[in-house]
Every structure is written in C-alpha cells, then in structure tokens.
Amino acid sequence: MRVPFEDIAHLFGEFERTAFRLETRRGYASDRAGARFQAFLRGIDPAPEPENPWHVNVRRKAEEGARFSRVRIVDEPPTDGQRFLMAAAAAAHAADGEDIRVLARAEAVRLELPEFDFWLFDSRTLVRFHIDDQDVTTAVEVVEDPVEVLAACRARDRAWPHAVPSGEVWARVRSSA
C-alpha cells in the first residue's frame, strides 16, 4: 500500500541495527527546490547543518550502536544533482556516522541492481519509493514480503563491496571541474 513519506518517518528512529538506502535517481526535486542547491549551482559548497533533525538522529542512532549507510548510483559525468549530494555528504554525513558510498551507473547495471530507490531497515522492512518523472517522491510503499526484502538485501550486498566512499569520489569530481 502506498503512503505519504511522512507515514514512515518513525522508522528512522525505531530501527535497531541498520538502515540502508539505495539511491538511483539522477537528481531529486526536493534538493533542486532548496536554497542550498541553488547556492551550490553558483559555486558555494553546502555548509554542514549539524542541528538539522536528520543529522541529530543519525548521531543519536550511531551512539546507540545503529548504522546508516547508502549507495548512490552516479552517472559519468555526475549530474548537478549527484554532484550536490556528494558535496553535501562530504560536508557532514560521515562526521555524523552515516557511511555514504558511490557506485557508477554502469556498474549498477552490471550488478543488476534495482532501478528504484529504497530504504531497508534491519534487513526486514523494505520501503520502496515511488518517484514521478519530475523526481518528486509521490509516495512510499512499506514491503514486508520476505521475497522482496531478500531481493533488497541481496542488492545491498552486491552493491556495497563495489561502492567507493562518497568523499573520495567528490574529491576527484571536484578537482576535475
């Protein structure tokens, strides 16, 4: 059943061990609409936002022994949206305890990764994103079917060893710009 994203927000505070995200999009409307993204397009790197509720929660969960991780699929060359996400990750996410890695789109295709975004909580609850052609998240779907959850776990396990820390990729992308 599709629900608004807000209906699953509690999962980010309630998971016990791991929260993994696969990001497949070339950009997100929510990023493009923000002042930080517009500033980034003018050459201003995103400043850390340590008091942002996301970062506060990531730090709290890390203190509890839980772990956030992501694999972002990027194009060659990366889109503005992908570059923005790498710059933002370099600014704060790693310091908070979130391990964000980057995987080339060609490698994601070779690994037969899903073409949809998802969060996977404690390897048992899958939250699949429904995103329209303008990169707007229209809904999410909570999936607890063991077959689909296992497929997401396998996708995570295929992607992770091939993904490179976002900060390393951002340093290369930034120096070549």
Average of per-residue pLDDT values in the chain: 93
> For residues 173 and 83, is the Cβ–Cβ distance under 8 A?
yes
Q: How do residues 113-137 score in pLDDT, each as one tens digit? A: 999 999 999 999 999 999 999 999 9
Q: What is the pTM of this model?
A: 0.94
Pairing of strands 67-74, 98-104: parallel
What are the φ/ψ torsions at residue 66 (nearest 5 degrees)? Answer: -90, 165
Q: Three-state DSSP class for 78? A: coil
What size, in residues, is the chain? 177
